[in-house]
């Protein structure tokens, strides 16, 4: 029984170690950062796309306005217009010139915004690449350790399979019922009247009472006791 308990304790410790690798918490933190960086990159890409679209639209409209001004200027120089028509055309050309100046200023502003957004996106993608590399390294390290632990668990499980048939079915059933509620310890040594599970010290009379039970069980924690 104690051999089985020893094996089960070893398996529990291995499984706890598997769940508690320091790299797991680090992996969680890295992937939380990855998620945030990906969301940021997506937002930045969308904002940059909107700015690029605005620049392209502005440049297209500027080109049309510039061509229109050139056409109107050609009409002015061609002659044949009345004084009133020439005056109106001059006003039109001047208005188009102001529109061109305003459009160029707006486009310059958009280009500055684009450059800033592009730099921010580059910084985010660089951080993202570093985080992804770190995540991959951690994932590989965790997988290596898990393989080692799983191999140890498999070895202990084989040992467990050797002990189980040696224990009476009813005793084994009681042991399995106790383990989940007793921190994994279903059976403990009774050494000099002290329970190895809860460390309760039994008086000589209590020891006699306990040893009369089949199987012996601690009066305090009710674990199965194995006298030594």
Q: What is the pLDDT at residue 137?
A: 97
Long-range contacts of the stretch 61-67 (C-beta < 8 A, 24+): 61/103, 62/100, 62/103, 62/104, 62/107, 65/96, 65/99, 65/100, 65/103, 66/100
Per residue in 120-155, pLDDT (tens digit) is 999 999 999 999 999 999 999 999 999 999 999 999
- How confident is residue 60, by pLDDT bands cut at 50, 70 and 90? very high
**Whether residue 163 has pLDDT greater than 90:** yes
| Domains located in the chain, CATH noted | 13-166 (1.10.287.1700), 169-227 (no CATH)
Q: What is the pLDDT at residue 84?
A: 87
Range 20-36 average pLDDT:
96
Whole-structure pTM value: 0.74
Per residue in 193-217, pLDDT (tens digit) is 999 999 999 999 999 999 999 999 9
Count Cβ atoms below 10 Å from residue 46 Cβ, excluding itself.
10
Q: What is the pLDDT at residue 89?
A: 84
Q: What is the pLDDT at residue 77?
A: 81
Please spell the DSSP secondary structure of the chain, one letter per residue.
-HHHHHHHHHHHHHHHHHHT-HHHHHHHHHHHHHHHHHHHHHHHHHHHHHHHHHHHHHHHHHHHHHHHHHHHHHHHHH----HHHHHHHHHHHHHHHHHHHHHHHHHHHHHHHHHHHHHHHHHHHHHHHHHHHHHHHHHHHHHHHHHHHHHHHHHHHHHHHHHGGGS-HHHHHHHHHHGGGTTT--EEEEETTEETTT-PBPPHHHHHHHHHSSS-B-TTT--EEEE-
- How confident is residue 8, by pLDDT bands cut at 50, 70 and 90? very high
**Whether residue 88 has pLDDT greater than 90:** no
CA distances from 114 to 120, 186, 211 (A): 10, 68, 84
Q: What mean pLDDT value characterizes the chain?
A: 94
* Euclidean distance between CA atoms 144 and 131, whole angstroms: 20
Alpha-carbon Rg for the chain in angstroms: 41
**Whether residue 118 has pLDDT greater than 80:** yes
* Euclidean distance between CA atoms 116 and 182, whole angstroms: 61
Q: What is the pLDDT at residue 116?
A: 97
């Amino acid at each position: 029984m104690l051999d089985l308990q020893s094996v089960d304790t070893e398996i529990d410790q291995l499984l706890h170690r598997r769940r508690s690798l320091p790299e797991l918490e680090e992996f969680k933190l890295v992937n939380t950062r990855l998620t945030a960086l990906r969301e940021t990159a997506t937002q930045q890409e969308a904002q940059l796309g909107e700015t690029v679209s605005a620049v392209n639209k502005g440049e297209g409209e500027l080109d049309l306005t510039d061509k229109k001004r050139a056409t109107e200027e050609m009409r002015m120089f061609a002659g044949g217009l009345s004084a009133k028509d020439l005056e109106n055309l001059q006003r039109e050309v001047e208005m188009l010139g102001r529109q061109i100046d305003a459009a160029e200023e707006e486009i310059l502003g958009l280009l500055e915004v684009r450059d800033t957004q592009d730099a921010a996106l580059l910084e985010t993608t660089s951080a993202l690449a570093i985080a992804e590399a770190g995540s991959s390294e951690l994932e590989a390290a965790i997988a290596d350790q898990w393989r080692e632990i799983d191999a140890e668990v498999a070895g202990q499980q084989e040992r467990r399979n050797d002990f189980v048939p040696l224990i009476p079915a009813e005793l084994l059933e009681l042991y399995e019922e106790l383990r989940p509620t007793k921190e994994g310890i279903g059976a403990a040594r009774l050494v000099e009247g002290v329970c190895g599970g809860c460390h309760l010290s039994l008086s000589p009379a209590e020891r006699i009472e306990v040893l009369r039970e089949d199987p012996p069980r601690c009066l305090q924690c009710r674990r199965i006791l194995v006298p030594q």
